[in-house]
Amino acid sequence: MTSEKEYTSVVRYVTVTGTRSITAECETQLPDLFDGYLRPFAGSESHFHLGGAAGIDTAALDWLATHTQASLTVVVPCTVADQPAAANGAIRWWQGRGRLAGVVELGAAKLGTTAYHARNRWMVDRSGLVIGFPRGTQPTSGTWYTVNYAAEQGKPRLVVPV
């Protein structure tokens, strides 16, 4: 039997994945969605892996860094310099404030589906839970790829449509 003290000292690793395309309406709803679906997993013993792209990745990074004490690692397929300007800026901003536990640059030769899928597998392989914020039900989206990969690994998934 695990004691309460032992349980609270266990680090919880969580991957956040989501659409890169967010509407203005969706953007206004994100703080409430993050408060309802990220905060319950974002204690000081938690560690989040975030993809470092525009859209949900950057919005979740900003929200988690501002509203929680969870450890945060940003994972990019190539380098941070290869990320979109808004994502690059957010990564540098939080890194400069000491808010990131790490930035992992996987060094792919070029950006594209293969590189993004490799990044997403890297994050899932190191997490015990995946929280996905997909837009629509397109099985070819990167978010659904990641959620389905987690399912193949037998990992719990929380899907929050946006």
pLDDT in tens, 87-117: 999 999 999 999 999 999 999 999 899 999 9
pLDDT value for 65: 98
d(CA 48, CA 104): 13
Side by side, which strands form the sheet with 129-133?
102-105, 71-76, 46-50, 12-18, 129-133, 157-159
Q: In the chain, where are the structural domains located?
A: 4-159
Rg (CA), the chain: 15
pLDDT value for 10: 60
For residues 21 and 54, the answer to whether their CB atoms sit within 8 Å is no
pLDDT value for 18: 95
pLDDT value for 11: 66
pLDDT value for 7: 47
d(CA 43, CA 144): 26
pTM: 0.91
pLDDT value for 26: 85
Which stretches of the chain score pLDDT less than 70? 1-11
Does 3.30.450.90 match the CATH number of domain 4-159?
A: no
pLDDT value for 139: 74
